[in-house]
Amino acid sequence: MSKPPPDPAAAPGKPPYPIPPAALRGMVLTLPRPQADAPEGAWQDVVQGGLDKLGELDPRDAIETMLAIQVIAASAAVLDAYRIAFEPGTTAAQALRQRANAAALTRAMGVAMRLLAQQRAIPAAPARDWGGVAVELAGAWQAAPARPAEAPRGGTAAEAEPETIVKWIDEIDDAELAIAVEQDRREKAGEPPLPTKGPKVLYRYKPEDYIRRFKPDERVARPYPGWENMTKPERREFFGYTYTGPVAPLEMLTPASRAAAAAGEE
């Protein structure tokens, strides 16, 4: 049987907690950046808005500070995802993905809010004396080899966005398949290509795809004279009928069919 959460009114109040500058800097780096040409006051307004939210959440220890900053960061990320979803150049698939990201971030923010409320209800604990262990650990950490810096993702602008990309036809959805068919038709007809944004998309079959092994039957190009205008051997040859197994006895046929079968016409 689970125990009920502690009563916040019964728990002793926690003293104010001086938030470390490193934690404040980490919070500021999660906020939406103003435009590069924005005035200095715009940057200060964004920072002040984050500080006001942090002040309303009023964290009283390190854990509460961590959860409060997560709430502020998730809130900023939700707004950014919704902004991208409703931009004019965003495709339907991208908008759907961004709205799903915003929904997931909203759930994460709700979880952080509940954890913050639970942490606040826990009675205050006496401060632990760590002695000089922080200095020793910091020195060992500084002496440890750093992780190699990653190469810039995408490199130059030309590498980040190539002129053409290839998509396999058997891996696209019906909507993009219609675009591929229309693109192929325009290319064969000598018409202008479809207007697109970003790199040109080339729709191709995979090297091992069945379409590369397919060979059309030359007989399909012949005109169909009609079933009633062909004899049995002609129908067999026209339709590629190669069955040589057992057949029904002639006694089951009508006299006219027997005569046609004897003459090779059925």
**What are 35-56's pLDDT values in tens digits?**
888 888 888 899 999 999 999 9
Q: Is pLDDT above 60 for 25?
A: yes
Q: Is pLDDT above 50 for 8?
A: no
Q: Is pLDDT above 80 for 245?
A: no
pLDDT at 48: 92
Q: Is pLDDT above 90 for 193?
A: no
pLDDT at 2: 41
Q: Is pLDDT above 80 for 162?
A: no
With vertex at residue 189, the alpha carbon angle to CA 187 and CA 190, rounded to the nearest 5 degrees, is 65
In the structure, what pLDDT confidence band is assigned to residue 265 with cuts at 50, 70 and 90? low
Which segment, 54-63, 134-143, 152-161, 200-209, is predicted with the most confidence on average?
54-63
| 206-237 tens-digit pLDDT | 777 777 777 777 777 888 888 888 887 888 88
* CA distances for 109 relative to 56, 94, 115, 198, 256, angstroms: 16, 22, 10, 34, 85
Query: For all residues of the chain together, what is the average pLDDT?
Result: 81
* β strands within 79-220, DSSP E: 164-168, 200-204
In the structure, what pLDDT confidence band is assigned to residue 160 with cuts at 50, 70 and 90? low
b/e string for 151-173 if b means 16 or more Cβ within 10 A?
eeeeeeeeeeeeeeeeeeeeeee
Say which residue, 2 or 235, is predicted with more confidence: 235
The alpha carbon of residue 68 and the mean position of all alpha carbons in its chain are separated, in whole angstroms, by 28
Every domain of the chain and the residues it spans: 1-36+43-124, 160-212, 225-262
pLDDT at 3: 47
pLDDT at 227: 81
Which segment, 34-38, 77-81, 129-133, 235-239, is predicted with the most confidence on average?
77-81
Give the DSSP letter string of 49-72.
HHHHHHHHH---SHHHHHHHHHHH
